[in-house]
């Protein structure tokens, strides 16, 4: 193999090494994001209608609302970047949150049963330890 071929092979090997390293880093980042679901208890810091919720393993959530109502059979999903919570009690409600600076910032739409209107809120949540746990 001549010098030109050796230089070309070295360049190709270096390029493949960089591509492989980038793929590994992207894969590791995706795996970390997918594994880091925001389990535990969260409470609102800005008067959200959804005042608190607890995310448990297996996609089960408990939610408490400003009215004093509770949904012990809510469900959650984490796709690695966005948390969604679905209430079985309030099936028109939608919740989509993202982690930012140790807080959960969420777009929340809740159904006001008194006047049959949907209300949109930008909610902020922080982790907390509920009494009795």
What's the pLDDT tens digit per position in 28-64?
434 344 458 999 999 999 999 999 999 999 999 999 9
Judgement on whether residues 81 and 27 belong to the same structural domain of the protein: no
φ, ψ for residue 51 (rounded to 5)? -80, -30
* Number of domains the chain contains: 2
> Is 80 inside any structural domain?
yes
Judgement on whether residues 85 and 99 belong to the same structural domain of the protein: yes
Q: Which domain holds residue 72?
A: 40-127
pLDDT bracket for residue 22 (50, 70, 90): very low
Comparing 9-13, 21-25, 79-83, 114-118, the range with the smallest average pLDDT is 21-25
pLDDT at 108 over 60: yes
Judgement on whether residues 60 and 111 belong to the same structural domain of the protein: yes
3-state secondary structure 25-47: HHHHHHHHHHHCCCCEEEEECCC
> Is 132 inside any structural domain?
no
Q: Which residues, listed in sequence order, are joined to residue 5 by a DSSP beta bridge?
A: none
């Amino acid at each position: 193999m001549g010098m030109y071929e050796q230089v070309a092979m070295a360049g190709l090997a270096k390029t493949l090494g960089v591509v492989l390293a980038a793929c590994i880093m992207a894969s590791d980042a995706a795996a970390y994001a997918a594994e880091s679901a925001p389990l535990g208890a969260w409470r609102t810091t800005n008067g959200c209608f959804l005042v608190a919720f607890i995310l448990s393993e297996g996609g089960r959530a408990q939610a408490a609302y400003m009215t004093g109502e509770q949904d012990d059979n809510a469900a959650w999903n984490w796709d690695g970047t966005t948390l969604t919570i679905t209430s079985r009690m309030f099936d028109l409600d939608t919740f989509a949150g993202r982690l930012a600076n140790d807080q959960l910032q969420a777009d929340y739409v809740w159904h006001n049963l008194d006047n049959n209107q949907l209300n949109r809120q930008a909610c902020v949540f922080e982790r907390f330890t509920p009494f009795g746990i």
